[in-house]
Amino acid sequence: MSDWKKDNLRFLLNKLGGYPDNFQILDLGVGKDPFSEATVRFKNVVKMDILPYDAVNLVGDFNKGIPFKNNHFDCVLVNNVLEHCSTPPQLLREINRVLKPGGVLIGTVPFIIQIHQEPHDYFRYTEYCLRNLFKDAGFKDCSINNLGHSLSIYNNFQGLFFWKLLNSPLNIFEKTLIKIIWKGQRILIKLMGKIYQKCLQDDILVQGYGFVVEK
Ligand SMILES: C[S@@+](CC[C@H](N)C(=O)[O-])C[C@H]1O[C@@H](n2cnc3c(N)ncnc32)[C@H](O)[C@@H]1O
């Protein structure tokens, strides 16, 4: 699991931890359900996606509406989904509609991360944009946490860089050299990680955000 996914899982376990097992949850854009550990104890989880992955129990396009009545769910999850929605204000209003009063929207969005799921990758949001979107969709309170930091961003991009090199038409000598350099980089990152803990407070980079928004 990548650093980003580990941070997502930690955030979700923490935020869902206090809710009762009979909470009605809608997991929108659940995909392959990588954070199932955070929802497994809940009895009523609708897992919706436009693609019929194994974990999905409702196949549907959220751009065409969420097929539930008003005030139905205690919680809607949108993990790594808002960047793939071409009309986020419309989706957020629809989520607000299906949430009970006092219900919560919980989710994550990446910020400094590679383009993925092309061509359906439309946005990167700042914290301030998210706050405006939630407010305009009719939500009351929102709390937003930074997820990831300079070192996880560095780690992610160096991994992508070396992976790209190793999958390029290089000769065996060049590939062996790249593998040795990559291994050295990984050791360096491990060492830097220990030192880096001291600098986390003043970090200027964020890999993405986790949010809890109340209707
Ligand atoms: C980046 S993946 C995130 C999957 C999972 N939630 C996670 O955090 O790893 C985005 C998911 O949203 C789904 N998705 C994209 N557009 C959708 C739509 N219009 N309706 C329903 N699901 C959609 C995709 O099929 C994909 O599984």
More confident residue, 192 or 135: 135
> Nearest Cα to 46, choosing from 27, 18, 19, 69?
27
- Ligand 1 pocket: which of 81, 95, 109, 114 to mutate (most atoms <8 Å of CB)? 81
Cβ atoms < 10 Å from Cβ of 145:
16
> Nearest Cα to 59, choosing from 24, 91, 28?
28
pLDDT score of 44: 95
Tell me if 94 sits within 8 A of 66, measured CB to CB: yes
Distance 128 CA to ligand 1 centre (A): 23
Distance 214 CA to ligand 1 centre (A): 22
What is the arithmetic mean of pLDDT over 68-76?
98
What is the arithmetic mean of pLDDT over 90-112?
98
Q: Which atom of ligand 1 is nearest to the CA of 33?
A: 5
What is the arithmetic mean of pLDDT over 24-41?
97
Question: How sure is the predictor about 192, in pLDDT bands with cuts at 50, 70 and 90?
Answer: confident
**Percentage, residues of the chain above pLDDT 70:** 100
The pLDDT mean for the chain works out to: 94
Question: How sure is the predictor about 150, in pLDDT bands with cuts at 50, 70 and 90?
Answer: confident
What residues contact 49, with CB distance under 8 A and at least 6 apart?
A: 29, 30, 31, 56, 58, 59, 60
List the domain boundaries for the chain. 3-149+205-214, 150-202
Alpha-carbon torsion angle 135, 136, 138, 141, nearest 10: 0
What is the arithmetic mean of pLDDT over 113-128?
95
DSSP SS3 for 149: coil
pLDDT at position 199 over 90:
no
What residues contact 68, with CB distance under 8 A and at least 6 apart?
A: 26, 46, 98
pLDDT score of 33: 98
Tell me if 12 sits within 8 A of 38, measured CB to CB: yes
pLDDT score of 65: 96
- Ligand 1 pocket: which of 50, 122, 123 to mutate (most atoms <8 Å of CB)? 50
pLDDT at position 198 over 80:
no
pLDDT score of 144: 97
pLDDT score of 109: 98
pLDDT at position 139 over 80:
yes
Q: Which CATH class is domain 3-149+205-214?
A: alpha beta
**Percentage, residues of the chain above pLDDT 90:** 86
Q: Which atom of ligand 1 is nearest to the CA of 29?
A: 12
Distance 29 CA to ligand 1 centre (A): 3
Task: Please give the backbone phi and psi of residue 134, each rounded to the nearest 5 degrees, phi first.
Answer: -65, -45
**Residue whose pair of structure tokens reads 């990548």 in the numeric block:** 2
> Nearest Cα to 37, choosing from 58, 57, 8?
8
| Extended strands (E) in 159-207 | none
pLDDT score of 94: 98
Cβ atoms < 10 Å from Cβ of 209:
21
Six-digit token string for 44? 């009523």
Distance 207 CA to ligand 1 centre (A): 19
* Amino acid (one-letter) located at 113: I
